[in-house]
Amino acid sequence: MQTRQLGREGPDVSAIGIGAMSFAGFYGETTEAEAHSLLDTAVELGVNHLDTSNVYGMGKSESIIGSYIAQRGGNPFVIATKAGITRDPASGERYFDNSPAHLEEELDKSLSRLGVECVDLFYVHRREAARPIEEVAETLAMLVRKGKTRFVGLSEVAPSTLRRAVAVHPIAAVQSEYSLSTRAPELGLVQECERQGTALVAFSPVGRALLTDRPPTPERIASSAFLSGNPRFVAPNYAANIAASAALRTLAAEAGTSAAALAIAWLLAKSPSVIPIPGTRNPAHLRELVAGANMQLSDAELTRIEDALPVGWAHGDRYTTAQWVGPERYC
């Protein structure tokens, strides 16, 4: 397994990690035993970077990772978790809280569920727009000083936000959606991460399975609260995206590999700062993704991929209007 550094001063991690939102049933029901089997496969393949959050299943994802660590008698992973998204208890409406009290309280709960004294990386999951990012960076620095996290990160932020935060405290990682179907990070975020020595942790690197040999079926989409309303998976965009992404599946078949592997290999070739964190519940699918992390694409192969799926090929936005509340738009 190739490795990449999680920030300028952070640990080396596997070139791809695992996004553990899938452990909480986001893309379909799964059991603790199934998640543990996937983690066993990850250890076997040398995948040691796990990304979770306090809101994934309201702690379920973290608890599953914690039970795995407890049952195996040790922690083989570099663990990242996140906080900052919460809900009003009266109205149930989602909002963002980056206050020191909230972030520390939620991190303490995450540490308890994970069964560890310190996480390797703690992100602000969504920025609270009214609170200066410099104040948030000071809070993150405080959590490092207290020994509750080794490194800190931000999620779904603009390049300008990263620059301001780094002026206060080193930011090891910025998390953003990045794939052949979502290229916005190339308009400033990739470049800023490279300048700052910050890892760009790319979630949904295979386009929520659109960039695989098994794209979501209408039945699977209908069963998912997220996909059933997502612009790229509703008519007429869904059919158009299935047709367009077929070009990647054709290239992969010609190369004797999977579309998912090719999508991961392409993403890793875009910048040495990029670390994809695909989410999966299936050990066989994880092996496909790891195969992509071990591929080296030539310039000619990269050109063929981008000719097949040029910038802007995807039909529909990556989020609905409601889902766009929180992520920072910068271009």
Distance (Å, whole) CA 173 – CA 11: 11
Distance (Å, whole) CA 114 – CA 83: 14
What long-range pairs does 86-94 form, CB within 8 A, spacing at least 24?
Answer: 94/325
Catalytic residue among 27, 56, 68, 319: 56
Separation in Å, CA 4 to CA 35, 268, 284: 25, 10, 23
* Helices 100-114, 60-72: inter-axial angle, 10-degree rounding: 40
Q: Which residues face 201 on adjacent strands?
A: 175, 275
Residue 95 is a catalytic residue: no
Q: Just list the catalytic residues.
A: 56
